[in-house]
A = this chain, B = another copy of it.
Amino acid sequence: MSLRTADEYRAGLVDGRRLHYQGQPVPDINAVPDLRVAVDHAAIDFDLARDPGHRDLAVAVDPDTGEEYNAGYRIPRSAEDVMARSHLIEAGTAAGGTVVTLIHEIGTDGLFALLRVLEGEGREKAEAYYRHCRDGDLALAVAQTDVKGDRSKPPHQQADPDLYVRVVDRSDEGIVVRGAKCHTTSSANGDEIIVFPTRAMGPDDADYAVSFAVPANTEGLSLYVSGYGGGGHDAFDHPVSSKHKLLETLTVFDDVFVPWERVFLCQEPEKAGALALTFVEYHRFTAVSYKLPLVDAFVGAAAQIAEMNGVMKAGHIRDKLTQLVAYAETVRALTEAAALRSRIGEHGIAYPDPTTTNMAKYTFASGFYKAVEWLQDIAGGLLVTGPSGADWDSPEIRPILEKYYAGASPAPERLAMMNLISDLTARDLGGYHAVLAVHAEGSLEAEKLQMLRSYTANHAPRAIAYARKLAALD
């Protein structure tokens, strides 16, 4: 086992992978400024494990060998473990400036799903792979969402059969896969990519029921990084996004060979749904855990800018601030409750309560835009009409700005807080946070579906029995 350094992680990414950005091939991810921001951001995960203030959260110890490994890899066995994982994710994201670092957690969400759902040989391979990743302190990405084509049709009815990743050949050595995944986070700067089916599959879609793992530099695998959110941001007016960033790729498998030891599911459609869903159950809990710094930042920034603008005593400002608090703290309380109500699943692996997890995620997602509105309402129009970093750096202009942008606090403080809010809500990072709220880790509809499903299984009998008793039935 090992705890890699951030520099070991950075160096490991220069491995011959086929990476593309802004229309160009990228031989060294660390050499392209926009991408380097994301690598440095992800490196926080490694730094955290070496930071004395975070070691308790970020480093786990193998009880048998006494060896240390990144706590993101710790398999949860109890509610306490699930809660500790939540705290680790929250701490990493807080260090990441509201942008999740994710480099261990999303992958382990997937590994835990493999370990719970698979049996027999599949599970043995998953265990071996888990040890490989944990012991090498590898950075993981999960590629789940297929490009999907026409969404009204299942995989096998698409005009182009490659619109979901599929098995095109199998031999004694392994399988060959083709197709593309999209929205793949941290693949460009991850060591390994774990592939999951995007949803339940019917018998006609057997070739699409496939799960496996490959290193990022595997032959035939190409990664096309989205240009969204790039562009050399100034630290003055982009205080967060100039330092913190995720990369998403279109992840293309052009007849990629995967040896059997890394194939977890192959042409077994009946297990695709369970695998997809179990991953998502963990992943939504990861999601609500990593949303907590963001909602805290909203509340804190709202309280600060209200003071700085001198409007804290206005009734409507206090009302909006209170509703923002209620929103943020409800997400937090539900996340905590999801951990405290953890259940023990297959093979003794714990998982957060699905009803509560989905409630937390749905509360976050469905209330997000209202929260943005409250925050922007409190802050003011200066969010989109303020000075640039170049203005601020100009010795002629800065005195003007200092004079005229003073509020109840001096201009430097007020503009810094205003720019934070602008970056989080009204620029590319704001758009990214918002679209993530609606779509990442499952849409609002997916959350509702799962909430009703797990409530019906676990809690509805109590409510129904009570209603029937009141109606004098039974």
A228 touches B462 (CB 8 A): no
Find A24's partner among B329, B390, B451 (CB 8 Å cutoff).
B390
Cα of A268 to Cα of B239 in the assembled complex, Å: 44
Which chain B residue has the least Cβ–Cβ distance from A306?
B151
Cα of A336 to Cα of B333 in the assembled complex, Å: 10
Cα of A231 to Cα of B428 in the assembled complex, Å: 13
Give A75-93 as 1s and 0s: 1 = Cβ < 8 Å from B's Cβ atoms: 0000000000000000000
Cα of A463 to Cα of B304 in the assembled complex, Å: 10
Give A330-371 as 1s and 0s: 1 = Cβ < 8 Å from B's Cβ atoms: 100110110010000000000000011001001100001110
List chain B residues, Cβ under 8 A from A330. 330, 334, 359, 363
List chain B residues, Cβ under 8 A from A293. 466
Give A422-444 as 1s and 0s: 1 = Cβ < 8 Å from B's Cβ atoms: 10011110111011101110011
A315 touches B315 (CB 8 A): yes
Q: Does A2 contact B (CB under 8 A)?
A: no
Q: Does A457 contact B (CB under 8 A)?
A: no
Cα of A92 to Cα of B32 in the assembled complex, Å: 42
Given A359-B326, A359-B330: A471 and B372 within 8 A (CB)? Answer: no
Give A18-31 as 1s and 0s: 1 = Cβ < 8 Å from B's Cβ atoms: 00101110000000
List chain B residues, Cβ under 8 A from A147. 404-405
6 A-B pairs besides A180-B403, A182-B381 with CB distance below 8 A are A224-B401, A300-B460, A301-B467, A325-B455, A413-B471, A426-B434
10 residue pairs, one from A and one from B, having the closest CB atoms = A227-B388, A300-B467, A426-B431, A300-B463, A23-B390, A315-B315, A150-B310, A23-B394, A381-B439, A369-B369
Q: What is the interface of chain A, defined by CB distance below 8 A to chain B?
A: 20, 22-24, 94, 97-98, 145, 147-153, 159-160, 162-163, 180, 182-183, 222, 224, 226-231, 235, 237, 239-240, 248, 250, 252, 293, 296-297, 299-301, 303-304, 309-313, 315-316, 318-319, 321-323, 325-326, 328-330, 333-334, 336-337, 340, 355-356, 359, 362-363, 368-370, 372-373, 376-377, 380-394, 397, 400-401, 403-408, 413, 416-417, 419-420, 422, 425-428, 430-432, 434-436, 438-440, 443-445, 448-449, 451-452, 455, 459-460, 462-468, 470-473
